[in-house]
Every structure is written in C-alpha cells, then in structure tokens.
Amino acid sequence: MNEKLKSELITHLSSFLSEERNSKFDDVLSNRTRRITVVLEDLYQSHNSSAVIRSCELFGIQDIHVIEGNNKFSTNNEISVGSAGWVDIYKYGDNSEFDVSSCYHRLKESGYTIVATSPDENSKGLDSINIDDKVALLFGTEENGLSEEALVISDYSVTIPMYGFTESFNVSVACSLILRDLTERLRRSNLNWKLSEEEIRAVKYSWLMKSVKNSDLIVKRFLKERVLPPDRS
Amino acid sequence: MNEKLKSELITHLSSFLSEERNSKFDDVLSNRTRRITVVLEDLYQSHNSSAVIRSCELFGIQDIHVIEGNNKFSTNNEISVGSAGWVDIYKYGDNSEFDVSSCYHRLKESGYTIVATSPDENSKGLDSINIDDKVALLFGTEENGLSEEALVISDYSVTIPMYGFTESFNVSVACSLILRDLTERLRRSNLNWKLSEEEIRAVKYSWLMKSVKNSDLIVKRFLKERVLPPDRS
C-alpha cells in the first residue's frame, strides 16, 4: 500500500476511536524506538516471556525477536495483560532446532550491535553499552542462559552488578533492568531514537486494524469508494 | 547469647567452611542493608514472590516483610534458586485477615518511611524518594495493587515512568527496578547504610547454622567444652 493511501486510511480508521484514544496512540508512538531491540532465546516459563513483553511495551521497545528451540514461545495473558498486541514479535526456529543464524543475519542487516546478557566473569557493566549503536540485547533460557551459538554471534557480553549469593537475576527482571537503563539514556540523549514517519504510519495502521471494530470491512469499503468512481447511474 | 560467645562460635563454625566460602560470606555481608526494606502484600503468584526475593537478595536487602491476606505466601525454588535462605522474612496475618497494622507498627518503630508503589496519578517519580530516610517499599497484589489499608499507612506513593499502553509493570519487575535505583544511590552515597557489627554477627551466625553440616551438634559440643571445666579425673 502506498504511503498516501495508508495516511488516508489511518485518518479514516482513527475517526472510529475516541479523541482520547487517538491521542494515547500518538503519545505512545512518539515514545517508541527500534534503536534497542530484545532477543529471547528459548524461554520456557511463559510468565517470564510475558513479563519481558510487558516491560518492552512499557519502555517503548517496538520489536522483540524470539528464537524458539526446545520450547515453544508462549505468553500468559494474566501477566502480559495484553501488551503483546502493541509490539512486533518476530519468530525464528521451528520448535525443534534453534535458528540463531537467521535472527543474527536479520539483526546485522538492520545494523544492530549484538549484546549478550550473561553473568559470567568476562561480562562488562551496563555502562559499556554504547547507545550510539543500535543495540540488540540477547537473553537466554532460564536455567542455562544463552546457547553457545548465541554467545558466538554476540559482539560482547554485559551483566548487572550483583551483591548476593544468587547467581543471576530472573530473566524478566534482568531484561527490565537493562531496558530501563538504556531507554533512560536514550531519552536523555540527542540521538534520533524515535520511529521514522513511515514506521509510525505502519505501526499505527496495524494498531488501528486491531483496535477498530470491523476494521477489515471498513477498509474494504473505503478502498472500494476511493478506487471506484461514484455510481452515476 | 552474649556477643563475645557469639563471636567465638562464629569463628568456630567458620572453620568448617572453605576460605573461599568464608570470604564470600564476608563480602555479601559487607553489602547488606536494612536502610531499605520491602513489604509484599498478598502476592498470589509464587513466581512473583520468588523473583522479588531473588532480587532483594542480589541487591543486598536483608529484610522482607510479607503480609498474607487471601493468599498464602509461597516461593518457587526454580525461580528463587535458594535466595530465600539468605534474607530475613517476617510474616504478618493468618491467611484469612490482613494484618497491615502490626506490620505498620513494626516498621514505624524501626524508623521507616513507608512508600507505596502504585501507578496512580498522584504518585511521584522515584527521585522523590529521599534516601536520607530509612525506606520501606510496599508492593501490592498482582491484579489490584495495594489494599486501602496499605495506602492509608503510606507516607507517599511512587511510580516508575511508563511509555506504553500497559497499566503497570509486573510486580517483581517493579520491585527490582526501584531497588536498583535506590541501592545504587545508597552505595554511591556517604550514608551509613551497612549493617552494624552486631547485626552482621547475628546474620552471619544464622547463615553459618544453615551452611555448616551438623551445626547444631557442633554448637552443643562447643558450648559444653567452654562451659564445663576439663575433666581432670
């Protein structure tokens, strides 16, 4: 669909929502970013996946990449409370084999620096993450962390300072702590971290399609009226 | 037990652990604090309680207060990964009635400012928490947040900035985000946030009793030898 037509459709679909809802959409969109993205490798506890997605949504992270291996990715709506509907989730793998490679190529093509999160001794502190780079943060499975493949494709590893006996934070907690740190730094910076006009239109269109009742029908009717000349019979 | 005897027992019990383990104990103890404490009101998802305790342990929070109401407090060791053994958990209520009041009195007697965490519009940002005060952070149940009673006893409310549609963070995430913020500020400050020598001895003694095999027997034998004169027959 060309951008002009998409804009018109957005205007039309928006007219079915309240002013308050439209302004909420614009407010949330103005806070979305793709400069930071999250990659989840083979999480098996749905409450963790759900809490991660909820935090991503709240911190304005639009894209989440999910590599499925031994475990099928699932969320628990009691915890995600609908947040999965407002972010874009990209899946790799077919539940029997990891597909770290496809995910890696996609991230690299999009210009991401790949940062593993791992509580091992070679990991650096969060300050070592340079937010001038686009950053993809990798989080591994609950018990064993990231796979060897995931560690190999990473540019470097980071960890959060810990002062106790426990070896690591819960994965959804770790992800949220790092996202807060990075998004606060981004929002305070002069970097161009927001979505482009075109990206905003694409996301807004998809949100409107989900939010407006009978949106499919409305779009079909709109296109028909716009493309076909009015019936002059 | 008097402090001198406790010191001697600590030295004796320590001799049953490796040097590395002893130095880990001292390191963790030197990072423990009671200037910040966490109060959990009626959490019902054990993975949340577990993740909160794990984060408290890792951030050096020694005390956690648990008000049970409709739900019995329980942790899930797959998530807490043993962290509950290294913190002090104080329970209130009898599973049928909230006991906000006893908890309140205990916190006030210990000099805490009580801070509710709630995503409502009157809540202030995290910067408004004055770390010159001893701070007790209240977290409410997953679905409905804090009870009216808990909000009434709070000195003020705080919330974490959010940029999405979802109404709040997962409770274990919210707790971890606030704890990281406050403990980082404490550790950078000149405040006297560490445990006192006496508190360190008490905690260390309890950890040793849990960690040394047959500690009960060892203590009994030690006390017997120390109190009774050597047999001169």
Q: Which residues of A touch B54 (CB under 8 A)?
A: 166, 169-170, 173
**Which CATH number is B34-188 given?**
3.40.1280.10
Residue-level pLDDT at B232 = 59
Give yes or no for a contact between A136 and A106, defined as CB atoms under 8 angstroms apart: no
Residue to test with chain B: of A45, A52, A58, most B Cβ within 10 A: A58
Cα–Cα distance, A29 to A10 (Å, whole number): 14
CA distance to partner chain B, nearest, from residue A85 (Å): 10
Residue-level pLDDT at B140 = 87
Number of residues written out for chain B: 233
Confidence of residue A74 (pLDDT cuts 50, 70, 90): confident
Cα–Cα distance, A31 to A28 (Å, whole number): 5
Scanning A78-97 for CB atoms below 8 A from B yields 78-79, 81-83, 86
**Which backbone phi and psi does A114 adopt, to 5 degrees?**
-100, 120
Confidence of residue A38 (pLDDT cuts 50, 70, 90): very high
B31 and chain A: CB distance < 8 Å anywhere?
A: yes
From A126-130, A180-184, B143-147, B163-167, the region with the lowest mean pLDDT? B143-147
Residue-level pLDDT at A197 = 96
Cα–Cα distance, B57 to A170 (Å, whole number): 12
Q: What pLDDT digit, counting tens, does each position of A147-157 carry?
A: 888 888 899 99
Q: Does the pLDDT value for residue A7 go beyond 60?
A: yes
Q: What's the token pair of residue B47?
A: 């993975």
A176 and chain B: CB distance < 8 Å anywhere?
A: yes
pLDDT average, residue stretch A184-196: 97
Would you give per-residue pLDDT tens digits along chain B (233 residues)? 899 999 999 999 999 999 999 999 999 999 999 999 999 987 777 788 889 999 999 999 999 998 887 777 777 777 767 788 899 999 888 655 668 888 899 999 999 999 999 888 888 999 999 999 999 999 988 777 888 888 888 999 999 999 999 989 999 999 999 999 999 999 999 999 999 999 999 999 999 999 999 999 999 999 998 877 666 55
Cα–Cα distance, B153 to B101 (Å, whole number): 8
Give yes or no for a contact between B83 and B74, defined as CB atoms under 8 angstroms apart: no
Residue-level pLDDT at B216 = 95
Residue B231 DSSP symbol: P
Q: What pLDDT digit, counting tens, does each position of B151-173 carry?
A: 888 999 999 999 999 989 999 99
Residue-level pLDDT at B68 = 81
Q: Is the pTM of this model over 0.95?
A: no
Give yes or no for a contact between A153 and A104, defined as CB atoms under 8 angstroms apart: yes
Give yes or no for a contact between A162 and A197, defined as CB atoms under 8 angstroms apart: no
CA distance to partner chain B, nearest, from residue A221 (Å): 29
Give yes or no for a contact between B175 and B137, defined as CB atoms under 8 angstroms apart: yes
Q: Which residues of B touch A165 (CB under 8 A)?
A: 24, 28, 57, 82-83, 86
Q: Look at residues B126, B114, B115, B113 and name the one whose alpha carbon lies nearest to residue B159.
A: B126
Query: pLDDT: is A184 or A95 the higher one?
Result: A184
Q: What's the token pair of residue B184?
A: 């980082």
Residue-level pLDDT at B107 = 95
CA distance to partner chain B, nearest, from residue A83 (Å): 6
Q: Which residues of A touch B21 (CB under 8 A)?
A: none
pLDDT average, residue stretch A187-201: 97
Residue to test with chain B: of A176, A179, A193, A195, most B Cβ within 10 A: A176
Residue-level pLDDT at B49 = 85
Q: What pLDDT digit, counting tens, does each position of A134-144 carry?
A: 999 999 887 77
A151 and chain B: CB distance < 8 Å anywhere?
A: no
Per the CB < 8 Å rule, is B165 touching A59?
no
β-bridge partners, A119: none
Query: pLDDT: is A70 or A219 the higher one?
Result: A219
B193 and chain A: CB distance < 8 Å anywhere?
A: no
* Residue found by looking up tokens 């984060």 in the block: B55
Note the helical H segments in B62-196: 77-80, 100-109, 148-153, 171-188
Burial class (CB in 10 A: 0-12, 13-18, 19+), A113: middle
Q: Where are the domains of chain A?
A: 1-32+194-228, 34-188
pLDDT average, residue stretch A202-221: 95
Write the residue in B47, B142, B164 that is nearest to A60 by C-beta: B164
Note the helical H segments in A140-193: 148-153, 171-188
Residue-level pLDDT at B98 = 63
Question: Number of A:B CB contacts under 8 A?
Answer: 109
Residue-level pLDDT at A147 = 84
Write the residue in B57, B86, B169 that is nearest to A55 by C-beta: B169
Residue-level pLDDT at A222 = 93
Q: What's the token pair of residue B6?
A: 């406790």
Q: Does the pLDDT value for residue A233 go beyond 80?
A: no
Scanning A194-233 for CB atoms below 8 A from B yields none
Query: pLDDT: is B79 or A14 the higher one?
Result: A14
Q: What's the token pair of residue B157?
A: 């409310």
Give yes or no for a contact between B195 and B62, defined as CB atoms under 8 angstroms apart: yes
pLDDT average, residue stretch A17-37: 97
Give yes or no for a contact between B181 and B126, defined as CB atoms under 8 angstroms apart: yes
Residue-level pLDDT at B74 = 74
Cβ neighbours for B210, distance < 8 A, ≥ 6 positions apart: B85
Residue-level pLDDT at B16 = 97
Q: What pLDDT digit, counting tens, does each position of A163-178 carry?
A: 999 989 999 999 999 9
Query: pLDDT: is A78 or A124 the higher one?
Result: A124
Give yes or no for a contact between A170 and A49, defined as CB atoms under 8 angstroms apart: no
The dihedral over CA atoms of B95, B96, B100, B102, expressed in degrees to the nearest 10, equals: -80
